[in-house]
């Protein structure tokens, strides 16, 4: 049974797109193999903890359609799925490690740690804990009973060859001399990421660890833990890191990074996932647009390229446009109504006329409001030229005479005027809609109605 997971930490305002990306891959891996996709909240950093972040993260994941089988809000056979509710577990395993000699208590103060680090940096050495408490720690139990603050550190043995297999990058080997005696259990009793993931991934029977590349360098620590516990290693796959245009790690300073931002901007979740799927992976037939279902069927972790791709808003926008265009009119309407407050004021008949015009012109759902401004809050030019005034008058006259208020006849009328005055279409656009371009004019004023159109022209004439 394939079991994958994502471990979001509630320290930001929402899930990061980079995490949405790895979430997609974890989800796909589970779905492809009829496995389970799990969400485990890693809320062990109490200083960066943010109220409400967990709810936001979960709702975003749901909004993108990545359904999960086990998680903090729905439970599951390995509950609880929130690390803060599993504290005794980590303590127990930390103690087991100490008994085995794979970890030790450390009472060093922040001051001493800083000092040691500064000294090492001065000597141009990589900062490492100097194992002071391992070599000087004789009466740890007593000191703890006296109430002294302590942490538990990983005891890394020197000159060991540490290695693991990565599905995307092959074998990765590191010498244990490169690994620091990481803190596993913090003085507040919470585990660090390293203890937390290893214990929970094992306990929750996770088979594939699909996470971002930035974790490669700490994987050797996890390998030491798996070995110390005598646990079987899961399969690792380190996804490429999404980047800013300057190739640095995707960050909020240089890019919108919160998943819900994209939804708020009117991107469709399926377009976003399709775009994300194409980063580091490509369709065997080089198709660009494909369903999630198709992705799940064709996707294979082994095909992921290790290169960190730049997140390109322009291509995402194109993809979104394609998705909008491929939506049925009914579906498009549903999406628009859910997205735009203004849309609720539109009648069914108006919508029916608008939808086909909108389809090829909307890049995001946000465009609905700007494209339909004429129907709600048309802007009147501050002034018009004499010629424009005359055009308005002619239009008024011609329109008034019309019995049938429909696009083709309106267009005939407008064409005559265009010819007569030797002007181009945008002139009429500004007059009739207040904007130099927009949805097709005859259709627009058909939908606007005779009354409103004539009223507007009258307004222009009297300017």
Residues 247-266 that bind RNA (CB under 7 A): 247-249
Q: Pick out residues in 316-375 that bind RNA (CB under 7 A).
A: 318, 321-322, 325, 360-361
Interface pattern 263-282 for RNA (x via CB under 7 A):
---------------xxxxx
Task: Determine the Cα–Cα distance for residues 382 and 346; give it in Å rounded to an integer.
Answer: 27
Task: Determine the Cα–Cα distance for residues 234 and 104; give it in Å rounded to an integer.
Answer: 25
Among positions 55, 67, 288, 416, the unique one binding RNA when judged by CB under 7 A: 288
Q: Pick out residues in 297-326 that bind RNA (CB under 7 A).
A: 303, 305-310, 312, 314-315, 318, 321-322, 325
Q: Pick out residues in 158-197 that bind RNA (CB under 7 A).
A: 169-170, 172-174, 178, 180, 182-183, 186-188, 190-193
Nearest CB to RNA, comparing residues 34 and 126: 126
CB 170, min distance to RNA, A:
6
Interface pattern 380-409 for RNA (x via CB under 7 A):
---------------------------x--
Maximal C-alpha separation, the chain:
103
Please indicate whether residue 146 is annotated as part of the active site. Answer: no
- 170 φ, ψ (degrees, to nearest 5): 85, -155
- Tokens describing residue 3: 């079991």
Closest to 242 (Cα-Cα) out of 293, 300, 307: 307
Task: Determine the Cα–Cα distance for residues 443 and 410; give it in Å rounded to an integer.
Answer: 9
State whether residue 393 is helix, strand or coil.
Answer: helix
Candidates 131, 160, 249, 252; catalytic one = 252
**CB atoms < 10 A from the CB of 337, how many?**
15
Q: Where are the alpha helices (DSSP H) in 51-205?
A: 53-63, 87-99, 110-122, 132-136, 140-145, 193-203
Task: Determine the Cα–Cα distance for residues 260 and 59; give it in Å rounded to an integer.
Answer: 9
CB 321, min distance to RNA, A:
7
CB 462, min distance to RNA, A:
26
Q: Pick out residues in 26-85 that bind RNA (CB under 7 A).
A: 42, 44-45, 47-48
State the virtual CA torsion across 368, 371, 372, 373 in degrees, nearest 10: 120
Closest to 352 (Cα-Cα) out of 329, 334, 372: 329
Specify the stretch interacting with RNA by CB under 7 A; choose among 6-14, 70-78, 130-138, 388-396: 6-14
Q: Which residues pair with 239 in a beta bridge?
A: 212
Interface pattern 78-117 for RNA (x via CB under 7 A):
------------------------------xxx--x---x
Interface pattern 198-237 for RNA (x via CB under 7 A):
---------------xxxxxx-------------------
Question: Where in the sequence numbering do the catalytic residues fall?
Answer: 252
């Amino acid at each position: 049974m394939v079991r994958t997971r994502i471990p979001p930490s509630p320290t930001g305002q929402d899930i990061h797109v980079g995490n949405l990306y790895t979430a997609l891959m974890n989800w796909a891996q589970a779905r492809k193999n009829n496995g389970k996709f799990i969400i485990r909240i890693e809320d062990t950093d109490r200083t960066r903890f943010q109220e409400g972040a967990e709810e936001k993260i979960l709702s975003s994941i749901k909004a993108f359609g990545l359904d999960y089988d086990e998680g903090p809000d729905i439970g599951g056979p390995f509950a609880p799925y929130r690390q803060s509710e599993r504290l005794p577990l980590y303590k127990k395993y930390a103690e087991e490690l100490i008994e085995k000699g794979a970890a030790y208590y450390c009472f060093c103060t922040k001051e001493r740690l800083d000092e040691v680090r500064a000294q090492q940096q001065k000597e141009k050495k990589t900062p490492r804990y100097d194992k002071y408490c391992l070599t000087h720690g004789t009466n740890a139990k007593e000191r703890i009973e006296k109430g002294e603050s302590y942490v538990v550190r990983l005891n890394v043995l020197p000159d060991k060859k540490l290695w693991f297999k990565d599905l995307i990058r092959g074998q990765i080997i590191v010498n244990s001399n490169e690994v620091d005696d990481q803190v596993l259990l913090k003085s507040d009793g919470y585990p660090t990421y390293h203890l937390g993931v290893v214990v929970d991934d094992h306990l929750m029977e996770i088979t594939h660890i699909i996470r971002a590349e930035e974790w490669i360098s700490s994987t050797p620590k996890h390998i030491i833990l798996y070995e110390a516990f005598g646990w079987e290693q899961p399969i690792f796959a380190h996804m490429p890191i999404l980047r800013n245009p300057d190739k640095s790690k995707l960050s909020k300073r240089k890019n919108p990074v919160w998943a819900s931002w994209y939804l708020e901007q009117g991107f469709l979740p399926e377009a976003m996932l399709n775009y994300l799927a194409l980063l580091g992976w490509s369709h065997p037939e080089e198709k660009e647009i494909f369903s999630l279902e198709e992705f799940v069927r064709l996707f294979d972790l082994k095909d992921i390229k290790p290169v960190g791709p730049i997140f390109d808003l322009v291509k995402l926008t194109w993809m979104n446009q394609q998705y909008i265009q491929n939506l049925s009119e009914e579906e498009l309407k549903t999406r628009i109504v859910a997205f735009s407050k203004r849309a609720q004021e539109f009648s069914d008949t108006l919508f029916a006329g608008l939808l086909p015009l909108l389809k090829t012109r909307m890049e995001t759902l946000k465009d609905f409001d700007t494209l339909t401004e004429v129907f709600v809050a048309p802007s009147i030019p501050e002034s018009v030229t004499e010629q424009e005034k005359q055009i308005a008058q002619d239009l008024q006259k011609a329109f008034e005479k019309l019995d049938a208020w429909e696009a083709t006849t309106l267009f005939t009328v407008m064409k005559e005027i265009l010819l007569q005055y030797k002007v181009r279409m945008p002139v009429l656009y500004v007059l009739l809609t207040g904007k130099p371009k927009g949805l097709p004019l005859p259709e627009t004023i058909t939908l606007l109605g005779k009354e409103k159109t004539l009223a507007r022209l009258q307004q222009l004439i009297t300017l």
